[in-house]
C-alpha cells in the first residue's frame, strides 16, 4: 500500500489541507492562499481516516486546550531544512523566538539567517510545526507563508501577543 492520503479540516484560520503518507504520518498541513502550500494532486486518496488524531488535536489547539501536538510527522527536506524544522519543534507554546536564535540552535553562522528564514518559510507543516512562533529580532511580525494575519491570530491564541 502506498500513496498520499489527504483530507480537509475546517478551522478558525480557514480550511486546512492535510496530507499523510501510507503509514499515516502527517506530511503537510496547508492553509488557503499559503505561499508554497500544497494542492490536491491526481492520484492522491481522499480519506479522512489517517487524520483522526490530527483533527482532534487541531480542534483542541484552536479551543485553547492543547499546547503541544503529539503526531507522527514526516516532512522531507534537505538536511539543513530538517535541522531548522526540528528546532521549531522546541519553541514552546506561548513563546516566540527569532530567526537568529534558530540559526544559533542549528549551529548556523549569524550570516545564515536568510537561509534559516528560507527553511522556515518552506515548512510544510504549518501550525503543528510552529513556524508562526518565529518573529523578527526587533519583535516585528515578519515572514509567515500562511499570511501575517494568521500568524498574529495563532500567536494571540497562544497568548504570545496581546489581543488587539
Half-sphere exposure of 154 (CA within 13 A, CB side): 28
The cell for 66 is 492543547
Judged on CB neighbours under 10 Å (0-12, 13-18, 19+), 37 is middle
For 45, 87, 117, the CA distances from 41, given in Å and listed in that order, are 9, 30, 27
**DSSP state at residue 125:** B
Cβ pair 5, 50 in contact under 8 A:
yes
DSSP line for 61-76: HHTT--SS----B---
Q: How far apart are the first and last CA of the chain?
A: 48
Which residues are known catalytic residues? 131
Amino acid at each position: 500500500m502506498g500513496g498520499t492520503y489527504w483530507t480537509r479540516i475546517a478551522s478558525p484560520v480557514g480550511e486546512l489541507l492535510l496530507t499523510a503518507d501510507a503509514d499515516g504520518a502527517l506530511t503537510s498541513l496547508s492553509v488557503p492562499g499559503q505561499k508554497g502550500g500544497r494542492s490536491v494532486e491526481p492520484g492522491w486518496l481522499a480519506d479522512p481516516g489517517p487524520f483522526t488524531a490530527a483533527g482532534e488535536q487541531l480542534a483542541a489547539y484552536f479551543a485553547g486546550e492543547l499546547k503541544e501536538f503529539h503526531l507522527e510527522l514526516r516532512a522531507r527536506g534537505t538536511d539543513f531544512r530538517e535541522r531548522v524544522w526540528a528546532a521549531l519543534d522546541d519553541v514552546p507554546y506561548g513563546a516566540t523566538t527569532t530567526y537568529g536564535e534558530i540559526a544559533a540552535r542549528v549551529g548556523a553562522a549569524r550570516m545564515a539567517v536568510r537561509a534559516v528564514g528560507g527553511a522556515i518559510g518552506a515548512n510544510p507543516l504549518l501550525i503543528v510545526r510552529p513556524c508562526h512562533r518565529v518573529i523578527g529580532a526587533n519583535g516585528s511580525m515578519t515572514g509567515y507563508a500562511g499570511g501575517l494575519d494568521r500568524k498574529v491570530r495563532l500567536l494571540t491564541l497562544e497568548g504570545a501577543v496581546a489581543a488587539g
